[in-house]
Structures are given as structure tokens and as C-alpha cells.
Amino acid sequence: MTTYKSRKDVPVSETWNLADIYEELSQWEADLQSVEERTQKLKAFDGNINDAQSLYDYLILSEETGYTYKKLYVYTMFQVDLDTRDTKAQSLQDRAKQLGVKLSSATSFFMPFLLSLDESTLKGYIKEVKGLTYFEEDLLESYRYKKHVLPKEKEEVLSELGEALSAPSNTFGMINNADIKFGDVTTKDGETVELTRGMYSKLIEDDNREVRQEAYKAYYKPYVQLNNTIASTLSSAIKNNVTLSKMRHYPSALEKSLFSDMVPKEVYDNLIEATKANIEPLHRYTKIRKQTLGLDELRQYDLNVPLVKDVKEEISFDEAYETMLKSLAPLGEEYVETLKGFKEKRYFDVRETPGKRSGAYNLGLYGVHPFVLLNHQDDLDSLFTLVHECGHAMHSWYSSNHQPQISAGYSIFVAEVASTVNEVLLIRYLLKHTEDEKMKKHLLNHFIDSFRGTLFTQVMFSEFEKITHEKAEKGEPLNAEVFNEVYETIFREFNGDEIVFDEEVKYGWSRIPHFYRPFYVYKYATGYASAIQIADQLLEGKPETLENYLTFLKSGSSDYPLELLQATGVDLTKPEPIRNALAIFGELVDEFSNL
């Protein structure tokens, strides 16, 4: 595996070319100045939009300013992510953030103003000035929010309170990323090292059970110690969400979160009920895991160790890229050729270097191109990460190239479909082209564990969020004891009786950052189930399936997520896609068991 002590050592071809956004800092400074000036102009529209032309002038200026702002903010974000220790990059990002607050404040008047207009007046304006038809759908969509938008003065106050309301999330972020220390652990070589999150994800998969146990205990120790503090931050985040939902007249916090995507509450409930009704194959897999590992007692720190030993193979980035392109052939020539060009054009930042942000992501910058951040480790997991992020990147590319700016972005609800379709195509390709039985078993194990992590675990988290928000809505207390009890009950239900529960299990909720972005993780599960169905249909080679799927990738946010998915043949208002995905999970467990 290639490791680099400095970014300077990484081949240029494996780094981002940020000159695609700004060739020099002076251009960034000029854009910052320009947004600053335009923010003042936007503010001056407050109280002065009184005809079709002034409405059009405001909207055009607002879109142009928003576009430039996003570009300059993303540029600073990339600089910080490439080296989080870089103080110059941090100060640029701080300046961009402060400008963002000003921009948000300057435009906060607009939604209350728009909704104070009579709908017939707005429609008259749209007929009068031709350019307003570009904004028509978004303007009329705003009327859906009419009863949820507060009077102008209250909206301004909420806008000013933005930072205070995000304090629980920021506090947890500081505790989780900056303050928590996991202490020392002993590696299998007998070396004492400080435990990090990255190291934990490796050690929890170690063959040596004592190494796994020690890492597990060390990892959970600070969360157990800070249990009451973290409970306080999560409780505040949930109560803030519930209070805002009430203030904005939503029936519940859950329905507030589902509102923008026009997702009925039944989709969320369906997901939880259908998963729990089909949980048996997961319990069966847990039994197989216990038998395969030859354990008298299966514990939580035994759930991630691969069940097939000694199949680690080194896959260089170039090799991973080639394998990816072959596996995605069912998506058609244009898809594969376009993706091939991403590597030559340096849309990837490939290597892990000191100070670089961990993990991986794709960010599609409209008018520029997608940017993919990786921390490639030359292994199978890195191949899957590459394929996953390229699913997002191609979704960004297709949407940006086939939609106007106003509808080029896509919601998270559909985002996970594009990435997971790619992963499923990859695993099916690898299983088909692997003669080695051991490797086949390893890939099946990988597929099953990915299923467990993306579908079952996220549904478990979704139920935790639903129960804790409902408690807050009823005015019931939320504290460490309550969180521990709710989490442990759900964990037991999902994981079955084969697991012997360590004390640490019930503290699992306290380490999940997603809970500070409420009712978001269920989209991973619905996306995963949808992707399983689409990928398997693509492999059948029906031309209309490919055509429908590519249309979906080109659609951005031109329709609501459920409608976009229905065009691919997936109807999430019914339990079938979830049941079908869980049936496939059962088949995979059977196949693994038979091998």
C-alpha cells in the first residue's frame, strides 16, 4: 500500500486540480467582494418588490449570487479538507461562512413576502414577464410551505438564531472529533499505540479476538464516561427540532423532515415494519457468524470480523479504476466513456495524507464538474468506495448536463440510489468473474455485511430517531437512561438472541453523528432497497430499464423523489421494494451458508 508523508509526494495525476474553480486567489477575492456587494443589493429589495419586473430582477440576482457564493465556499471547503491543519485555508473558510450568514439574513425576507402574495397575483406576474417561467415551478412549490412559514419578523429572528440552534450539533462535533481520546491499545505485534477511529475500523476486523475486544472497550470507554454530556447535546438537538416543527405548524418533527421530499409518513413506517417483519435472515446470518468463528458466545465486537480469512489482495488505484469501468458496462457506453475521462481530468483526490479529511465524498459543482475526495488504501473496500462515489459523481454530471441550474441538484433521497446501483453491479460482476471459491465466499460476506450496514443498521437508527422524537413531543424526559434503554431494546430486536450483550452495547447511540441531522438515515435504507431492484433489472439487459435509469440520473430535482423513482419501476409507497431487497438478502445468506 502506498502511504505518503506529505501532499507534495503524491503524483499530480492523483490530486484535484482546484484551478478548475479558481486559477488564483485574487479571483476568489474578487468573487467574495462581488457577493458582498450583491448581498447589499438583495437586501435593498426588501419592501421593494411590487411588480413582475422587480420580482424577476430579484430572482435573477439571487440565483447568480447564490451560484458564486457556492463556488467560493466550496473552494475553501476543499482547501480545508485537503489539510485540516492549514490555518490559511481555515481563515478563508471562516470569511466565506460569515458571508454566508449575511447572505442568508439579507434574503430571509423573501419567503414570507412571496407567501403574502395572492397566488393569482403571482401567476399574473409569471404571464407578464417571460423570464419568470424559469422560476415558475419553484415559486408555486413555495405555496406548499405557506402554513409553515412564519411572519417576516419571526423568520428574521430564526435566521439570526441559526448558529445558536445548531449549537448541540456543533458541540457534539467538537466532543466527537476534537476532544474524545480513545487511549492506547496493543496491536497483534505487541506494539502499544494510541487508538484512532481509522485504526478502530481496522482492529475491530482483526482475526485476534483479544485485539478486537481491547479495541472495542477502549473505543466505547470515552462515550460511556461522557454519556450524560452527550445525552444533553442530543436531547437539546431533538427538542430544538420538535420546537421548530411546532412553531412551523407541522403535525410532527418526522413529517417536517419528510415534507420537502413530499414523502408520506407511511413510507417511513413501511420501511421499519417491513424490515422487522423480515428480520429472520439477519438472525440466521448471526448464527452462521457464530458457528463460522467457532465461538461459544458471540459479542458485538465479533460482528465485523470477515468470516473468510487470508483473501486480502492489493488493488492499485489504476487497477481498481479499470475493474470499475468493466463492472459498470450494463450502464452503457456513454456512461463508461464519460467516467473514464474523470480520471484523466483529475476529478479525484486519491491518497490519504497527514491532516486530510477522512472518509470519502462527491461534490458536484454546477458549471465546473464533480469533485471526488478519497483516501484510497489499495484494497477491496477502497474499490467499493471508489465505485460508490463515482455513482454520485456521474449522477452530478448527468444532472448538471441535462438540467438548468435551478433543478440540477438532487435530493439525498435519490442520491444513494445512484451510488448503490454501482456497488451492486460491482459485486455481481466480481462474483461472476471469480473462480476461486474462497474469494467468492469473501465477496458474499462483503455483500451481506454491506446489506446489514446500509439497510438493517440504518432502519434501526431510524426507529431510534422516531421513538425519541415522539417522547419529546409527548413531553417525556430525554436523558442518558432513556436513550440507553431505547437503543438497547431496538438493538436486541434487530440482532437476535445469539449475541451476548456487553455493557457497552446500550451506549451505541452516543457515537452517531447522523442523529444531529434528524430523519436522514432512512434514505440510505430506501435508497439501498431501490438500488438492489434497479441493478438486478439492469443486469437482465432490457433496453427500457437502462433508458429509464439514465433518464432518472439526468432528472436532478425536476420532480419529487418518489415520482423520479417510480419512473424506474420502484414504488416506495408500497412495501414490495423493501420486501424484495430483504428476500435477496435471505438468498445471499443461503448461498453463503451452502458454500
379-411 pLDDT, tens per residue?
A: 888 999 999 999 999 999 999 999 999 999 999
Query: What is the number of H-type helices and E-type strands within the chain?
Result: 26, 5
Residue 298's DSSP bridge partners are 499
Looking at residue 160, its pLDDT comes to 83
Residue at 294 is within a domain: no
What CATH number is given to the structural domain containing 99?
1.20.140.70
Q: Percent of the chain beyond pLDDT 70?
A: 99
List, in order, residues 6 or more apart from 253 with CB less than 8 Å away. 238, 241, 242, 245, 469, 472, 473, 518, 519
**Short-list 512, 452, 448, CA closest to 486:** 512
Looking at residue 570, its pLDDT comes to 95
Task: Kindly report the number of other CB atoms within 10 A of residue 3's CB atom.
Answer: 10
Residue 194's DSSP bridge partners are 184
Residue at 529 is within a domain: no
pLDDT digits (tens, 9 = 90+) for 473-513: 999 999 999 999 999 999 999 999 889 999 999 999 999 99
Residue at 541 is within a domain: no
Residue 452: alpha-carbon gap to chain centroid: 17
Q: What DSSP assignment string belongs to 401-460?
A: HHS-GGGT---HHHHHHHHHHHHHHHHHHHHHT---HHHHHHHHHHHHHHHIIIIIHHHH
Q: At 505, which amino acid appears?
A: V
Q: Per-residue confidence at 2, pLDDT binned at 50, 70, 90? A: low
Residues 569 and 548: their CA atoms lie apart, in Å, by 9
Q: How many CA atoms are closer than 13 Å to the CA of 175, on its beta-carbon side?
A: 22
Residues 75 and 98: their CA atoms lie apart, in Å, by 15
Q: Is the pLDDT of residue 112 over 60?
A: yes
Whether the CB-CB separation of 349 and 372 falls below 8 Å is answered with yes
Q: Is the pLDDT of residue 1 over 60?
A: no
Q: What are the DSSP E strand ranges found in 114-226?
A: 184-186, 192-194
Q: Is the pLDDT of residue 218 over 90?
A: yes
Average pLDDT for residues 518-532, to the nearest whole number?
94
Q: Per-residue confidence at 191, pLDDT binned at 50, 70, 90? A: confident
Q: Grid coordinates in use for 50?
A: 411590487
Residues 382 and 376: their CA atoms lie apart, in Å, by 5
Q: Mapped to the 3 state alphabet, what secondary structure does 307-349 carry?
A: CCCCCCCCCCHHHHHHHHHHHCHHHCHHHHHHHHHHHHCCCEE
**Residue carrying the nine cell digits 477511529:** 197
Dihedral sign for Cα 104, 106, 108, 114, please. negative
Q: Grid coordinates in use for 269?
A: 413506517
Give whole-number Cα distances, 475 to 305, 342, 377, 468, 510, in Å.
Answer: 41, 52, 48, 11, 21
Across 287-320, b (16+ Cβ under 10 Å) vs e yields: ebbbeeeeeeebbbbbbbbbbbeebeeebebeeb
Residue at 342 is within a domain: no
Residue 499 has φ and ψ, to the nearest 5°, of -90, 135
Residue at 72 is within a domain: yes
Whether the CB-CB separation of 228 and 480 falls below 8 Å is answered with yes
> Has 389 been annotated as catalytic?
yes
Residue at 12 is within a domain: yes
Helices (H), 83-166: 87-107, 110-116, 119-128, 136-141, 152-160, 162-165
Residue 186 has φ and ψ, to the nearest 5°, of -105, 125
Looking at residue 560, its pLDDT comes to 95
Q: Is the pLDDT of residue 376 over 70?
A: yes
Higher-confidence position of 84 and 365: 365
Average pLDDT for residues 453-458, to the nearest whole number?
94
Reduce the DSSP state of residue 190 to 3 states and report it: coil
Q: Provide the domain limits for residue 66.
A: 7-167
**Residue carrying the nine cell digits 487508538:** 195
The rounded mean pLDDT for the chain is 93
Q: Mapped to the 3 state alphabet, what secondary structure does 246-284 carry?
A: HHCCCCCHHHHHHHCCCCCHHHHHHHHHHHHHCCHHHHH
Residues 338 and 234: their CA atoms lie apart, in Å, by 43
List, in order, residues 6 or more apart from 61 with CB less than 8 Å away. 38, 41, 42, 45
Q: Is the pLDDT of residue 429 over 90?
A: yes
Which one is catalytic: 14, 214, 352, 389? 389
Q: Grid coordinates in use for 489?
A: 431494546
Dihedral sign for Cα 214, 219, 222, 223, please. negative
Residue at 538 is within a domain: no
DSSP summary character for residue 177:
I
Q: How many independent structural domains does the chain possess?
A: 1
Reduce the DSSP state of residue 186 to 3 states and report it: strand
* Listed range (100-104, 136-140, 355-359, 436-440) with the worst mean pLDDT: 355-359
Reduce the DSSP state of residue 373 to 3 states and report it: strand
Q: What are the DSSP E strand ranges found in 81-168?
A: none
Average pLDDT for residues 229-256, to the nearest whole number?
96
Rg (CA), the chain: 25
Whether the CB-CB separation of 81 and 354 falls below 8 Å is answered with no
Residue at 384 is within a domain: no
Q: Grid coordinates in use for 508?
A: 451505541
Q: Is the pLDDT of residue 276 over 70?
A: yes
Strand order of the β-sheet with 361-364 is 348-349, 370-373, 361-364
Total residues belonging to the chain: 595
